[in-house]
């Protein structure tokens, strides 16, 4: 994966920035609306981030760092939301973020955890 590593990292950091932005703006877009949808969104966002970065950082130590960093990001965003006055601090959002990170970790150990490598291989042929 060394060929496009910077591209994959750049896309991953753009995704982190998007998650932070959508988490902190006063009125984020709501494409679907039903009770609990925000918890699903949290879970999917953090699962995706963890899965993505686990494909770039493959060592166990790096992945543990990612896990801790993404959980900390989810906690920090909730604290900032509570301080902002227009969004809400919710422990259940922190839990959804953390469960998402765990799901991403688990998916990284499946075929999904090799998507980027497969994309690079397919692009060379």
Confidence at residue 2, expressed as pLDDT on a 0 to 100 scale:
57
Residue 90: φ, ψ to 5°: -140, 125
| 72 and 94 Cβ atoms separated by less than 8 Å | no
Question: Alpha-carbon distance 111 to 44, whole Å?
Answer: 18
Question: Alpha-carbon distance 102 to 66, whole Å?
Answer: 11
| 50 and 70 Cβ atoms separated by less than 8 Å | yes
Instruction: Please name which of 54, 40, 99 lies closest in space to residue 74, comparing C-alpha atoms.
Output: 99
Instruction: Please name which of 20, 18, 15 lies closest in space to residue 76, comparing C-alpha atoms.
Output: 20
pLDDT digits (tens, 9 = 90+) for 79-88: 999 999 888 9
Confidence at residue 122, expressed as pLDDT on a 0 to 100 scale:
76
Question: Alpha-carbon distance 87 to 112, whole Å?
Answer: 34
For the chain (125 residues), the mean pLDDT of every run of 10, in chain order, is 81 97 91 88 97 94 97 97 91 97 97 83 70
Tokens of 26: 């006063």
């Amino acid at each position: 994966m060394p060929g496009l590593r910077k591209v994959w990292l750049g896309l991953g950091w753009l995704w982190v920035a998007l998650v932070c932005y959508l988490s902190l703006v006063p009125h984020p877009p709501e494409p679907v609306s039903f009770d609990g949808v925000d918890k699903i969104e949290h879970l999917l966002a953090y699962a995706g981030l963890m899965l993505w970065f686990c494909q770039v950082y493959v060592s166990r130590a790096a992945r543990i760092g990612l896990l801790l960093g993404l959980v900390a990001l989810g906690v920090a965003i909730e604290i900032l939301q509570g301080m902002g006055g227009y969004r809400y601090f919710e422990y259940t959002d922190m839990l959804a973020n953390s469960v998402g990170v765990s799901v991403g970790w688990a998916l990284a150990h499946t075929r999904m955890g090799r998507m980027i490598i497969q994309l690079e291989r397919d692009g060379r042929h």
